[in-house]
Amino acid sequence: MNEPLNNSSPGISFSGKTHNKHPQWYNQPLRLTKEQKQDPLPVLDDFFECYHLNEVRIILWEWLTEVVSSPRSISGDSLDRSNHIYFYEKIEGVIEAVFVLKKKIHKHRRRKEKRRLIENIHPEKFQTAKIQGDIKSDKLQPAIETVDNSDLFNKPKMLIEFVDENPMYVIIEVFKNESLPFLRDQLRDWLLIALSADTAIYEEGEQRKQLLLFQEQLQILVEALFIIYTQNSENADVRKQIAETDKPRLLSQDQIGNPMQVLTEFFQKFPITYCIRELNDWQEAGICYVGDYPDNMDEPQAYYTCRNVLCLIKSAKRLITH
């Protein structure tokens, strides 16, 4: 019988692969000390002192990229890739939940200490207050172009048809109807179902790697276009709401100050012809996916996301060439 790992060498910290075949230890912490189990907050503090939250995301993403684009058998099957992606999503969610939990625990302890101090000094004036806030959101209606009904078989112009004459209008219309956080989620979910689809489009590891790199830079391009959208918004309430809820996550301060340079650098890496071809393959892989779609993602949504992204990419190209 295998002895419990934590009892193997009292006083000596374990270093290496943390697993133990003893059935009673399958779902028990093996690295934490007794004191850390009673108060895990110092462990969380130590972790986030070593790694910023964004650094953790980068490391996890690099791991995932290597796994799903590897030509070796570890991710050769679409089901294996789907399982790796699913695990990656859950780990990233756990890390972010721990980050939020750590902040809340510290805040809660500071409040308790402050209340204790006030109660000791002025017990007669001590009271607690409960504050509730309401968050209101205004839904902007998409612009609708009127058409001349005198012409038979006439239809309104599609949004992408305005790119050549007014690319800024196209960008504004996309972001009026799709928030930046929503587009982020759609690009992430669309990528994951494409990588998990049982199709020959992304069967080769190199093709999956190209898609991963393209999606990564596309996220940056979308944030830069969002900055341009905010700069051209005439609605003060929209600008205020954007400043509070839709802050870019990937752009540096220099990129936020000069979003047009981000557009230029994007097309230096990805020619417009490649972008269109990759989007077509990406969309087809999304349609071919036969598994369970993530929340807020399905075949029609994959199509809408592709359409919006194509509008943004073509508008960005138009902005830097004219």
- Let me know: does 320 contact 263? Beta carbons within 8 Å: yes
What pLDDT is attached to residue 287? 83
- Check pLDDT > 70 for residue 223: yes
Q: Hey, what amino acid is at 28?
A: Q
Dump pLDDT digits (tens) for 86-141.
Answer: 787 888 888 888 888 877 787 777 777 766 766 666 555 544 443 333 433 343 34
Tell me the C-alpha distance between 249 and 34, whole Å.
37
Tell me the C-alpha distance between 220 and 309, whole Å.
12
Q: Angle at CA 116, nearest 5°, toward 112 and 122?
A: 140
What are the φ and ψ backbone dihedral angles of 171, each rounded to 5 degrees?
-60, -45
Q: Kindly provide the b/e burial profile for residues 235-256, where b requires at least 16 CB atoms within 10 angstroms of the residue's own CB.
A: eeebeeebeeebebebbeeebe
DSSP-derived secondary structure for 206-258: HHHHHHHHHHHHHHHHHHHHHHHHHHT---HHHHHHHHHH---SS--HHHHH-
- Let me know: does 167 contact 318? Beta carbons within 8 Å: yes
% of the chain with per-residue pLDDT over 70: 74
Q: What is the mean pLDDT of the chain?
A: 78
Tell me the C-alpha distance between 208 and 60, whole Å.
17
Q: How confident is the model at residue 203 (pLDDT cuts 50, 70, 90)?
A: confident
Which one-letter DSSP state was computed for residue 199? Answer: S
Domain ranges (residues) in the chain = 51-121, 159-321
Dump pLDDT digits (tens) for 57-73.
Answer: 888 888 888 877 877 65
Phi-psi map region of 134: left, alpha, beta (phi>0 left; psi -120 to 50 alpha): beta
